[in-house]
Amino acid sequence: MNGRVLKYGIFTLILLITGMIPMAGFGAQRQNTYVILLDPAHGGADTGVMTDKLREKDLTLNIALLLRDEGKKISDFQFRLIRSADRSLSIAERIAIAGTAKADCIVSIHVNSGFGKKATGYEVYFPGFQQPIASGDQTTILRDMARNKTLNDSVRLAQEMQAELETVFPRKGRGLRDAPHPLLESVNIPGVVVEIAFATHPDDRKKVTEPETQQAVARALLRGLQDYFRKMP
């Protein structure tokens, strides 16, 4: 590699790091119009968590629809749903939809269970930082830098979601969690998984089945998205 090419490569890396050159796949550069992809977990034959009064697939879809309706009030937001009805979708189908949505971020909505009968509250997950920045040719380095930016943005989005959900479930936050997720790791855009309460906890279950709580959750998620995009570097 001659000196001129090396200098050009270093200069390009600096511009990408400082945000002077937009990275491919980041729709946040598109004239302040943001596309948000909502993933209501489960659907169809896949009911998710079930109790006598709650089916996860119904609750996740209802919150996603409420969030989409609330989002219509925000002129620079466009919401798209991976599913907008009660139908089954494999993870491969979800990944395919996400791959063509040209979204700026993904919010996957779930209801929690397990961790013992006393587990309560909400959790926000972001995809894990499993791969370090690679060494090698410039193309590989740039790809890994873009991935690292996506992960950092996912953490920022998770922080905003957590802060707003605290207004709905005071002192119920179980912290941000780093975990792999096949959907979020298959597309190079920021994303989070929101686990809204525990279906296995009687108080949580009662609260999230109330329409006013579901509306409050949708509004909290919308505020989290507004905060995230407003603070975009």
- Look at residue 124 and tell me if it is in a domain: yes
What the block records as the tokens of 162 is 């957590």
pLDDT confidence tier of residue 56, bands split at 50, 70 and 90 = very high
Q: Which residue has the higher pLDDT, 27 or 118?
A: 118
- Look at residue 58 and tell me if it is in a domain: yes
CATH number for the domain spanning 51: value is 3.40.630.40
Q: How does pLDDT run across 149-191, given as a tens digit for each residue?
A: 899 999 999 999 999 999 999 999 999 999 888 999 888 899 9
- Look at residue 159 and tell me if it is in a domain: yes
Q: Which residue has the higher pLDDT, 69 or 18?
A: 69
Distance CA 13, CA 6 (A): 11
Distance CA 60, CA 153 (A): 24
- Look at residue 13 and tell me if it is in a domain: no
- Look at residue 14 and tell me if it is in a domain: no
Per the structure, the complete domain to which residue 66 belongs is given by 27-230
Strand, helix or coil for residue 80? strand
The residues, any chain, with a CB within 8 Å of residue 164's CB and separated by 6 or more, are 220, 221, 223, 224, 227
pTM of the model: 0.81
Distance CA 142, CA 13 (A): 7
- Look at residue 74 and tell me if it is in a domain: yes
Give me the long-range contacts of 9-17 (CB less than 8 A, separation at least 24).
Answer: 9/138, 12/138, 12/142, 13/141, 13/142, 13/145, 16/142, 16/145, 16/146, 17/145
- Look at residue 132 and tell me if it is in a domain: yes
pLDDT in the model for residue 180: 87
- Look at residue 54 and tell me if it is in a domain: yes
**pLDDT exceeds cutoff 70 at 211:** yes
- Count of domains forming the chain: 1
